[in-house]
Copies of this chain bind each other. A is one copy, B any other.
């Protein structure tokens, strides 16, 4: 009775649900502390104290009708948008105004808003494997076609030759995600400059507009002092989708924003359309209390040293056992080569050791697995002997 499109989605989703249930089942048998659930990108570092303080202050000082009411513009409170713009300008030397910011229901909401805004049926959206699997759903909602560039498994930087070849007159958008889920790789400034040059040339060649959509929930999670270039500075038709899910550990609160700079072609029209899309897609506006909260916490950041320790411990541990993996510079994932071709079989084998990980196939990159290390440090430490046993199976 459900729609045909959803039939397939539900069947597929059941596999993931089965993994959850497996985790719960295993936890019951062995105790939660003996199950190593690396399946989810759910932050393990609590929200900064400033979040709680901001909420209490807002409850004391703000008028309930304003704090919990509809915002005048579906793009969000004017003061919040101004504060976000000011903060970005200070950090990145940009020149955004309040009007360039649209507050959204997380980055997932923001991506849907901007794809609704831009896509005509049949338009192509390019992304780089491995990629967050939901991009396909988001693109499909608006009858777009997701075109994946094959993975460069040497260092997981984008394959720019193939990118150039696959841009067509139908290419409407390119989604990049750096720091990357699932590899943790950060695109270098050199890479960004090359990508921008390719897109500029193709826009001219085809007389089209190609929008670069930068999906940035992991922007603040960069290690070893690595710079994450701010993409609007390299390419005019850039739109940024941000989320506070990871940076403030608020994934459940669904709060983020889109940046649509003046440099974007017909930016006024794109901004107006994003505003309407936010409303008609059913988001209406980003949750209001959380809009005000993030505006008060713009200088706050999750404790990335916690994730960094996890990263070092897990990466070094797995390397010692002979696993192959590019050392991630950001996010909180390791993307590890499966010792056998069949990554799903490897994930199933791992389950026998109470290790829950996600096959790379879910990210358009079979032969690899994603390990989300946004877990308790103890989980990392205690999992290492189990990973060692798992490694031994393939020796």
Contact = CB atoms under 8 A, between A and B. Distances in A.
A346 to B, nearest CB: 25
A55 B59 contact: yes
Given A6-B116, A117-B3, A120-B4, A283 B251 contact: no
B283 A249 contact: no
A70 B251 contact: yes
A87 to B, nearest CB: 21
Nearest to A104: B282
B59 A46 contact: no
Interface string A41-79: 011101100011001100100011101111110000000
Given A46-B65, A55-B59, A137-B280, A266 B1 contact: yes
A289 interface: yes
Query: Interface extent on A, as a size class?
Result: 35 or more
Nearest to A208: B1
A377 interface: no
Given A43-B69, A52-B59, A252 B112 contact: no
Given A10-B269, A13-B276, A59-B56, A285 B2 contact: no
Given A1-B270, A65-B43, A273-B6, A285 B52 contact: no
Copies of the protein in its oligomer:
2
Given A281-B112, A282-B108, A287-B254, A72 B9 contact: no
A65 B6 contact: no
A253 interface: yes
A71 B254 CA distance: 12
Interface string A130-148: 0000100110011000000
B118 A1 contact: yes
B254 A3 contact: no
B254 A283 contact: yes
A65 B46 CA distance: 5
Contact of A3 (B42, B65, B116): B116
A12 to B, nearest CB: 8
The 5 closest A-B pairs by CB, nearest first: A252-B288, A112-B282, A46-B64, A137-B280, A108-B282
Given A46-B65, A56-B59, A141-B141, 15 more contacts: A2-B118, A2-B266, A2-B273, A4-B120, A10-B272, A13-B279, A42-B69, A47-B68, A68-B250, A105-B282, A106-B282, A109-B282, A254-B286, A281-B281, A289-B289
